[in-house]
Amino acid sequence: MKKRSAVIIGGGVIGAFIAYFLLQKGWQVSIVEKDRFGSGSSEGNCGLIVPNHVFPLNSPGSLLKAFRSMLTRDAPLHVKPRLDLDLFQWFIQFALKCGQSDILFSARGRHALLQSSFDLYPFIVEREELDCDWEKGGSLHAFRSEKEWRACAEEGAAIREFGIVAEQLDRRQLLRLEPSLAPDLCGGWLYPQTAHLCPEKLMASMHGMLTQKGATILENAEVTGFDATNNYAQSVRTADATIAADAFVVAAGAWTPRMQKVLGCRIPIQPGKGYSITVAGAEQVPARPCFFEEKSVVTTPWPDSFRLGGTMEFSGFDDSLDRERLAALSRGADQYLADPSLGAVEKEWCGFRPMTYDGLPIIDWSPRLRNVAVAAGHNMLGLSMGPGTGKLVAETISQEEPHVDPRPYSLQRFIRNR
């Protein structure tokens, strides 16, 4: 019997896991990537697999922060003041999703994909021998302000409702666990059930593993359109090729809205620019990932390097490295480390998180082209939701029973909100 074929547009972590699960189901798979495989947001991120991040950013407090940040260029959240109707509408919809029931709806949808991915990761890493510095050792949230630390108890209680273990630590307990943290911090929260890995190594290993299993990965090939008849796509076009398939998946991260016309639906994803700095072989650093809460800085340790990451900037697709924002990242971390002198800088990076206004990804069929699916908009959690998303998309395309309820990720929610 002839193998069914699929083309995946976008070689990020989402496209990679979709390819993996489609190959497992016997599909012939091609990935078409406009740049280098793994060079988008999936490259220099913080590498955290965090099933505890069930709650979306939506809250009246974060809206207020966004408006204040227009005036402060080095604030953790920055909105570049400009006339952009899509961004304006995005913020309006964000504001409308700050109610308790919307937050809970989003949290349930996020939890399902986060938990499924967290359960799948160790099996995939072991079975496919992915060389990616995988470690399941928990993560810490550290606080300078007693008020913020205490306020987090409420969130801790709400998170436990999802079956997630969260332990509140006072200063003494925090420093006993991580002696490299600054002695004047007031306390922290430990989430023992999280993991981390090196995203660059993951993407390189997945490239090798997918090609070895028979996938074709085309790089430097931007998809510019579809050829379709009777609402079915026949092929995708790049500058040099036309690639035919039975099914297609648009997994183009923050760039997905560029295809909204052909998909037949508004795709409200905004690029949320973030930065990271990687230093070589730092010694006096926390042994497990840490969130420095008030500064929104994350640190991740690997055997031979250490990364600081964070900041959220809504400035379109401006891919310049803003020195002021990079400096703010290191300044933010300095306040939480006993010895802030880190090693030599190995890499400075920025990437575009695919941000939806309700914190939920989009996993659904295109309303116009019946054999084209969309899998994008994973916000700040694409790495943490990769395996669950890949499995769900492969099940949907293969017309099998989905392992998680796909309804929260439907495109219909944007059609309703128009």
Ligand X SMILES: Cc1cc2nc3c(=O)[nH]c(=O)nc-3n(C[C@H](O)[C@H](O)[C@H](O)COP(=O)(O)OP(=O)(O)OC[C@H]3O[C@@H](n4cnc5c(N)ncnc54)[C@H](O)[C@@H]3O)c2cc1C
* Phi and psi angles of residue 173, each rounded to the nearest 5 degrees, phi first: -65, -40
Q: Are 8 and 30 a contacting pair, CB within 8 Å?
A: yes
* CB-nearer residue toward ligand X: 25 or 237: 237
* CB-nearer residue toward ligand X: 78 or 171: 78
* CB-nearer residue toward ligand X: 138 or 351: 351
* CB-nearer residue toward ligand X: 107 or 175: 107
Pattern of binders to ligand X over 178-217, x per CB under 6 A? ----------------------------------------
301 binds ligand X (CB under 6 A): no
Pattern of binders to ligand X over 216-255, x per CB under 6 A? ------xx---------------------------xxxxx
Task: Tell me the closest approach of the beta carbon of residue 314 to ligand X, in angstroms.
Answer: 13
Owner of token pair 């937050």: 103
* CB-nearer residue toward ligand X: 174 or 195: 195
Exactly one of 23, 30, 40, 292 binds ligand X (CB under 6 A); that residue is 40
Both tokens of 309, joined, read 């990451």
Helix, strand or coil for residue 312? strand
Task: Tell me the closest approach of the beta carbon of residue 59 to ligand X, in angstroms.
Answer: 20
* CB-nearer residue toward ligand X: 149 or 275: 275
Give the C-alpha separation, 8 to 25, whole Å.
15
Give the C-alpha separation, 140 to 121, whole Å.
20
Exactly one of 19, 22, 23, 48 binds ligand X (CB under 6 A); that residue is 48
The alpha-carbon radius of gyration of the chain (Å, integer) is 21
Task: Tell me the closest approach of the beta carbon of residue 291 to ligand X, in angstroms.
Answer: 10
Both tokens of 141, joined, read 């949230």
Q: Which stretch binds ligand X (CB under 6 A): 93-101, 173-181, 274-282, 320-328?
A: 274-282
Find, among 115, 96, 119, 101, the residue nearest to 53 by Cα: 115
One DSSP character per residue, 93-160 reads: HHHHT-SHHHHHHHHHHHHHHHHHHHHHHHHHHHHTT--S--B---EEEEES-HHHHHHHHHHHHHHH
Give the C-alpha separation, 41 to 365, whole Å.
23
Give the C-alpha separation, 402 to 394, whole Å.
9
Size of site (CB under 6 A) for ligand X:
40
* CB-nearer residue toward ligand X: 34 or 295: 34
Give the C-alpha separation, 418 to 400, whole Å.
31
Q: Are 366 and 374 a contacting pair, CB within 8 Å?
A: yes
Exactly one of 7, 18, 19, 32 binds ligand X (CB under 6 A); that residue is 32
Task: Tell me the closest approach of the beta carbon of residue 280 to ligand X, in angstroms.
Answer: 19
Exactly one of 378, 392, 396, 404 binds ligand X (CB under 6 A); that residue is 378
39 binds ligand X (CB under 6 A): yes
Establish how many alpha carbons lie within 13 A of residue 108's alpha carbon, considering only the half-sphere containing its beta carbon: 10
Exactly one of 109, 301, 382, 388 binds ligand X (CB under 6 A); that residue is 382
35 binds ligand X (CB under 6 A): yes
Helix, strand or coil for residue 71? coil
Task: Tell me the closest approach of the beta carbon of residue 199 to ligand X, in angstroms.
Answer: 7
Exactly one of 33, 133, 293, 364 binds ligand X (CB under 6 A); that residue is 33
161 binds ligand X (CB under 6 A): no
The amino acid present at 322, given as its one-letter code, is D
Both tokens of 121, joined, read 């990761």
269 binds ligand X (CB under 6 A): no
46 binds ligand X (CB under 6 A): yes
Give the C-alpha separation, 309 to 353, whole Å.
13
* CB-nearer residue toward ligand X: 187 or 390: 390
* CB-nearer residue toward ligand X: 175 or 223: 223
Q: Are 14 and 37 a contacting pair, CB within 8 Å?
A: no
Window 3-22: residues binding ligand X (CB under 6 A):
9-15
Give the C-alpha separation, 358 to 336, whole Å.
31
Angle at which helix 100-127 crosses helix 382-397, to 10 degrees, equals 80
315 binds ligand X (CB under 6 A): no
Give the C-alpha separation, 86 to 248, whole Å.
26
* CB-nearer residue toward ligand X: 76 or 354: 354
**Footprint of ligand X (CB under 6 A):** 9-15, 32-35, 39-42, 45-48, 222-223, 251-255, 274-276, 309, 351, 353-354, 376, 378, 380-384
